[in-house]
Structure 1
Amino acid sequence: MTTPEQRLEELGLTLPEVVAPLAAYVPAVRTGNLVYTSGQLPVVQGKLAATGKLGAEVTTEQGAELARVCALNALAALKSEVGDLAKVVRVVKVVVFVASDPSFTDQPKVGNGASELLAEVLGDAGRHARSAVGVASLPLDAPVEVELIAEVA
């Protein structure tokens, strides 16, 4: 059986270092068999990959790719808490925040970037309930932010 880390390698991806918190919080918290990640921005090698609003400076396709980056960062935060992604029983819930121009309504398509990555890496354990919410702004003018809740063994 293929492990999540092997799937990441097959996808040509590596888990990044856990993104340092921007304020007074921690990247992930475990309570019982649940791990909650803090909201993860599309940070690559310590820098925000893009800024702006969906429907203005950022396209839907770019937003979906940025959501994938956020989900990868969320997996890194999750792994930092449990030590091994093979311990993930299932991703229970994902929330995708999309900084949106007032006329933008494709938040679910942006969220698919995160959802599809989780399914690619974790298989059926990566299928989850989800909300994709348009917001006026996000920290550092990020276009997308993703948080998740995972059940772990």
Structure 2
Amino acid sequence: MPGTVWTDRLAELGIKLPSVPPPAGAYVPAVRAGSLVFTAGQVPFVDGVLAATGKVGAEVAPEEARKHARTCALNALAAVDALVGIDAVVRVVKMTGFVASAEGFTGQPTVLNGASELVGEIFGDAGRHARSAVGVAELPLGVPVEVELVVEVS
């Protein structure tokens, strides 16, 4: 979408970026290195409250986890916006997602599609990214999913 102003696209989609969740440790939500912004892993905080805890495939259904992945991606984009402004995004380069998985759960890519599809809705072709979807035994604060982004900015 050449010439797109991403704030206009967000408004068109009816998406409002949330406030950046405060770090749960000794780190910052996002860091710029040259033309890249790296976000810290973002968990499904909504208005300062965790939206869910538990493992996917046990306490958390995969479709519910997919929605939480979308929330994580919104929080990551909020961190980018707070650092450089969302309109500075040239493209989304990489997404890494972690899914707290019950034994035998192998649907991590489907869960992370919630985040990837959101990025695609917002950024179109500039949102097409490389991705890793990793199943893990536990995540911080007991959350079911965590997402981090690398974006190229102008």
Task: Please report the TM-score for the alignment, with normalisation by the length of structure 1.
Answer: 0.96
CA distance in 2, matches of 1:2, 1:152: 14
CA distance in 2, matches of 1:38, 1:68: 15
Match 2:82 to one of 80, 101, 124:
80
Residue 118 of structure 1 corresponds to 119
| Letter in structure 2 aligned against 1:147 | E
Aligned length: 152
Runs of 5+ unmatched residues, structure 2: none
The 10-residue stretch of structure 1 (6-15 or 61-70) with the greater mean CA deviation from structure 2: 6-15
CA distance in 2, matches of 1:59, 1:109: 12
Cα shift at 1:7 = 2.4
SS of alignment partner, residue 10 of structure 1 = helix
User: Structure 1 residue runs of 4+, over 3 Å off?
Assistant: none
Cα shift at 1:87 = 1.4
Alignment of 1:1-153 (within 5 A): 2-83=4-85, 85-153=86-154
SS of alignment partner, residue 41 of structure 1 = coil
SS of alignment partner, residue 110 of structure 1 = helix
Q: What does the per-residue CA deviation read over 1:105-136, in whole Å, with 9 as the maximum and x for residues that have no partner?
A: 00000010000000111111111000000000
Equivalent pair of 1:7/1:120 in contact (CA under 8 Å)? no
C-alpha RMSD of matched pairs (Å): 1.0
CA distance in 2, matches of 1:141, 1:64: 16
Q: What does the per-residue CA deviation read over 1:31-77, in whole Å, with 9 as the maximum and x for residues that have no partner?
A: 10000000000000000001100000111111110000000000000
Runs of 5+ unmatched residues, structure 1: none
CA distance in 1, matches of 2:6, 2:33: 22
Cα shift at 1:86 = 2.1
CA distance in 2, matches of 1:8, 1:58: 28
Cα shift at 1:8 = 2.0
